[in-house]
Structure 1
Amino acid sequence: MKWLPKISLLAAMTTVLAGAPIAFATGAHAATTRYEVESAPAVCSGAIAANHSGYSGSGFCDTPNAVGSAVQFTIDSPAAATLSIRYANGTTADRPADISVNGAVVQPGAGFESTGTWDAWTTRSLPVQLNVGTNTVRLAATTAGGLANIDYLDVTTGGGDGSPTDPNIRFVGRWDTRDSTAYVPGWAGAHLKTAFTGTTVKLKQRNTIDLYYSIDGGPDVYLQNVSGTVNLTPTPLAAGNHTLRVSYRVVAGSYHGDAVFRGLVLDPGARTLPAAPARGTVEFVGDSITVGTTTSKNALTAYGWLVGEQLGLDHMQVAQGGACLVSTADGCVGLDRRFVKVSAVDGAVDHDFSRYQAGVVVINLGTNDVGHGVSTTQFQSSYVGLLRTIRGKYPQAAILALQTFRGRYVPQTQAAVQAVNNAGDRNVFFVNTDGWVPPDGLSDSVHPNDIGHRAIAAKLAPIVAAHLASIS
């Protein structure tokens, strides 16, 4: 539990210990310096504690439960940097804080979400512009809960080299990263994001692939049958900082070509910069409808992608064309078993769920199970199992079980939600989707078209936003 002393903030801002920052190499053109909260000149408006495991150094800052409780770091840096704050929050509520640099708030009410227990630590990152030389970074609680427990501040300066292991490239979704020279996206909608300097950017591919890319938030550009070093800037950009997003095309759950990211090629002397942080993470679990089959850009025009983009969230579609809820003897890919995997292929390794925690998970399954002879009893039992699996991986997430748009297995979906609710999990919800798909919103009898997916997203986005707000 949190330490709650009856002392003033001014008097408490005295807890400092001697020490020096620690420097780490993080790749070409970039370096990280760690500032432990227990080491001077850091100050903690509370106590340096060691009563929970997993912290770095000799302790962490445990502040009073009060508005204005604060931690302050004094750092040395060139102008561009990424701040990474390691923290633990064992409550179920967010512990938001204003993050200030040199007295100016650069991130008001930054979320420090629950990590499940006080022994579980995670990192919140923020790209900032600093002064050359000495800077102060301050976290001040904005609610009566005070701050999360703060372990250290990492300051990464310079830029990355564009390799798959470059920390400035954010791989959104599930990626197989076992080969440090070649990262492979595992499900629909997985994409990478980064920023970069210079006037050109090229993508290193292994073999032929179709892909979409967007620079500086512009329209997605579609490339077909490209391979090797792929120039994404045939017309050079203006000199300066730019952003990049790359997504490999998904057709009915399968990648068209060799979806293997081998790095970026930048101008001589140019570097990558951190991608802007997302407001949270949402995951969509489903079949070809969730993949966006029959829409103009597949995963990029599916309702999950649209909802994530509208709300400023990291988003991914754990979905495959033809997928079922239940793994069947005749070979239907069942998300009851494949949800925990890095991809849907046979023999796929387990996904590393420490990479991110979803705030909301949306399930749309049951359309295909009828064709594979799945009984209503089996469907309901497997749905309960999937809900429990998701809860085990995402302890704080709101789980939304959508009524399938064709109305299949609706009583069983509702009963599965009720079963986990009755067992004590109140953060699982059935969502009635009657009327979500307009008459002109289908491309066939099953799949929504672009109009249909936009209509679904319009209904679903405020629901996802409300559940994110309720757990923040």
Structure 2
Amino acid sequence: MVYNTPLSTPANTPLRLQLIGFSPPWSDVRLEERGSPIRIVTSEHVPSVTRKTRFRRNHRTIWPAIFLIIGSLWFWAGNQEAQKKVNQKLAPDIEGLQFIDVNHPGIRFVGRWTTTSDGARKEGSFPGVYFDFTFNGTRTVLLSLHNSDPSGNAPAIEPLREAPTLAFLPSTKLSNAEPISLLVRVDDNEYIVLPNATSITAIQNGNLDVHSVHSIRVIAPMVRENTVETLQVKGIYIDEGGQLLQFATSSEPALQDSVSSLEHGRAIGETVVQPPEKMLEIVTDLPGSMAGRDRRRNIGTARGILGGVMGWEYLLGEMFGTDHVMIGMDGMCLIQDCIGGRGSPAGLADVFFQSGPLGTEQYAHPWLFQAYTPDVMVLNIGNSDWESFQVHSDRYNRTAWELSVAFEDTYIALVKAIRTLAYPKYSTTTVDSSRYVYSPPSAAAELPIFVMRPFRGQLEQATHAVVERLRTEGDMSIFWLDTSGWLNTEVDFEGKVEEQDFFLDAKSETKQWRLTERGNQRVAILLHLHVCRYLARDAQKCAFLPPEVYLGKLLDPQIMRFDEYIEDERERRTKKLFWD
């Protein structure tokens, strides 16, 4: 995969402007709280000899401090002025450009985005959120963000608009989010890396063909470790003669005849005609977007940022050319009160029903599921719960069997909540699936949900039991994917990372096994076969898969739980031997 960055060294390492702040020794503390550095002594109470002695002592002590303060202020002022000149040189020129705000119908936001109460911007916090727009007649495209500018030099203020007053819109704070690294794809070219984007950020600055129609996608990978990021979009700048083309799906009758020749969409007049987009939604506690964090990694480099589009969840959607949404919370357990899990006592099921990840303001707002309805869901959960159960087994005061059952029950509750609360009126436009999986004629069409066996086999029995119990209760649109054999779980620590499927992320808070780039590609290719009939434009071209592939290992539940029963019994007998 090829990438570039506007500011890079010959080794493709992006340059960063660092603002060095310097403040006087007590600039953050009020002077009266520290005591005055100069002590005044009156002649009425002190003899003249003592007064002269103290004056000389204070003279020797005070002057070095004064010189230090003056030098520090001079250095700080000079540094600020130099930084200001650098920022002015780097800031894109918006003179002669028109501003288009986020509410324009030509900007299509995909994922979970919230709109501020004044309608001035949209905010996305889940990893991998993106937005698309198509345009013509402009050589320049600049991105306007609300994310903070460390220098405080905002090149422009967009014109004020009449703010809508809709009660259901979240009342977001006016504070700026931290700088955010972005990926941009112009047409079908390579990705452009924009590290630490803030304020006015140039996507293309005077080098586009004004006579052609161009499409741009802006992606927020959010791959920085232990950091919750938010992309705050206010709009875009283009040339005065340019225009954004509105999106229209091919389902509109007036455009049906024009769509037969369109594979990826094209402009007709001032409208972009595209085939109807299908939607893939993935919920996981181990995002594959961490692929860039391998042994060669430096998360601040373009290589690490590019990892945001190398995860299996992003690749899978791109393989079909469909929209894709990921609710990914790295290291968060499914169960609540998870010891050692990120975000505890909240669980992944809690986050699914909110507008943003835990730690963001969007988390306080419930998500309105009318924004989109997926054609298929993939759940890859269990890695973090398993790690917690193993590492902190002595603190739970519960057996392995009890912890597994708690995970299983929570998983079932999540699926039922998705059915009843998130997407209760699901209607699919996919082909008849009876040729792939047996489904009773009386079974209502529901959102197809795939429950994956975690990649390294953690809680395999519990995930299988989730599907078996739900299918027994009549949910015939849920399937278990047996991922055993998909990846090589053995790791050669002396071998090359690019030739393996996993690597040990020893630099994280807790050592975790993560997928390499090759591992992510393998998962995406194998998953492609299973979700093909739901996402492909021509489902007849999808490979035939027998029902046994989806029903998983047809084992008796008692036999499947035998290993857990033995482990539980061994633990019970050991406690009785030593403690009773």
Asked if these proteins are the same fold (TM beyond 0.5), I'd say yes
Task: Give the aligned residue type for 2:191.
Answer: D
State the secondary structure of the residue aligned to 2:316.
helix
Change (3 A) 1:252 1:379: farther
Change (3 A) 1:170 1:200: same
Task: Give the aligned residue type for 1:326.
Answer: I
Q: Distance in 1 between matches of 2:321 and 2:225?
A: 24
Q: Does 1:212 align with 2:183?
A: yes
Aligned to 1:25: none
Aligned to 2:318: 309
Q: Distance in 1 between matches of 2:412 and 2:228?
A: 34
Q: Does 1:456 align with 2:523?
A: yes
Q: What are the ranges of 5 or more consecutive residues in structure 1 without an aligned counterpart? A: 1-159
Q: Does 1:222 align with 2:193?
A: yes
CA contact (8 A) 2:125 2:229 kept: no
Q: Distance in 2 between matches of 1:470 and 1:169?
A: 23
CA contact (8 A) 2:285 2:348 kept: no
Change (3 A) 1:349 1:258: closer
Change (3 A) 1:386 1:231: same
CA contact (8 A) 1:325 1:382 kept: yes
> CA shift at 1:372, angstroms?
2.9
Aligned to 1:369: 385
Q: Distance in 2 between matches of 1:185 and 1:241?
A: 27
Q: Does 1:187 align with 2:187?
A: no
Aligned to 1:389: 417
CA contact (8 A) 2:292 2:308 kept: no
> CA shift at 1:209, angstroms?
2.0
Question: Per-residue CA shift, 1:385-406, capped at 9, x if unaligned?
Answer: 1111222323332100010011
Aligned to 1:124: none
> CA shift at 1:293, angstroms?
4.9
Q: Does 1:262 align with 2:234?
A: yes
> CA shift at 1:370, angstroms?
2.4
Tell which structure's C-alpha radius of gyration is larger: 2
Aligned to 2:352: 339
CA contact (8 A) 2:126 2:328 kept: yes
Change (3 A) 1:402 1:304: same
Task: Give the aligned residue type for 2:103.
Answer: T
Q: Distance in 1 between matches of 2:283 and 2:227?
A: 17
> CA shift at 1:178, angstroms?
3.2
Q: Does 1:323 align with 2:261?
A: no
Task: Give the aligned residue type for 1:336.
Answer: A
State the secondary structure of the residue aligned to 2:370.
coil
State the secondary structure of the residue aligned to 1:251.
coil
Alignment of 1:36-435 (within 5 A): 162-179=100-117, 180-197=119-136, 198-206=138-146, 207=148, 208-239=179-210, 240-251=212-223, 259-275=231-247, 276-294=274-292, 296=304, 297-328=306-337, 330=339, 331-332=343-344, 333-346=346-359, 347-373=363-389, 375-392=403-420, 393-394=422-423, 395=426, 396-435=446-485
Aligned to 2:503: 443
Q: Pick which of 192-201 and 306-315 moved more.
A: 192-201
CA contact (8 A) 1:328 1:372 kept: no
Q: Pick which of 422-431 and 460-469 moved more.
A: 460-469
Q: Distance in 1 between matches of 2:135 and 2:452?
A: 39
State the secondary structure of the residue aligned to 1:176.
strand
CA contact (8 A) 1:286 1:365 kept: yes
Q: Distance in 1 between matches of 2:192 and 2:404?
A: 44
Q: Distance in 2 between matches of 1:278 and 1:242?
A: 19
Change (3 A) 1:172 1:255: farther
Task: Give the aligned residue type for 2:185.
Answer: S
What is the TM-score of this pair, normalised by structure 2? 0.51
Question: Per-residue CA shift, 1:261-293, capped at 9, x if unaligned?
Answer: 111111103121135455300011002334435
> CA shift at 1:162, angstroms?
3.0
Q: Distance in 2 between matches of 1:281 and 1:253?
A: 28
Identity fraction in percent = 25
Change (3 A) 1:277 1:334: farther
> CA shift at 1:417, angstroms?
1.0
> CA shift at 1:214, angstroms?
0.7
C-alpha RMSD of the superposition: 2.5
Change (3 A) 1:357 1:269: same
Q: Distance in 2 between matches of 1:468 and 1:183?
A: 28
CA contact (8 A) 2:311 2:520 kept: yes
> CA shift at 1:367, angstroms?
0.3
Task: Give the aligned residue type for 2:285.
Answer: D
> CA shift at 1:355, angstroms?
1.0
Q: Distance in 2 between matches of 1:370 and 1:404?
A: 10
CA contact (8 A) 1:292 1:303 kept: no
CA contact (8 A) 2:333 2:385 kept: yes
Greater percentage in strand: 1
Question: Per-residue CA shift, 1:416-472, capped at 9, x if unaligned?
Answer: 111111121100000011122246111226101111100110100121112447998
CA contact (8 A) 1:283 1:315 kept: yes
Task: Give the aligned residue type for 2:501.
Answer: G
Q: Distance in 2 between matches of 1:228 and 1:268?
A: 20
Task: Give the aligned residue type for 1:260.
Answer: Q
Task: Give the aligned residue type for 2:531.
Answer: V
CA contact (8 A) 2:288 2:515 kept: no
CA contact (8 A) 1:291 1:320 kept: no
Q: Does 1:465 align with 2:532?
A: yes
Change (3 A) 1:224 1:348: same
State the secondary structure of the residue aligned to 1:436.
coil
Q: Distance in 1 between matches of 2:275 and 2:132?
A: 10
Aligned pair count reads 313
Change (3 A) 1:228 1:161: closer
CA contact (8 A) 1:291 1:319 kept: no
> CA shift at 1:181, angstroms?
1.2
Q: Distance in 2 between matches of 1:257 and 1:424?
A: 40
Task: Give the aligned residue type for 1:418.
Answer: E
Q: Distance in 1 between matches of 2:413 and 2:472?
A: 14
Task: Give the aligned residue type for 2:453.
Answer: Q
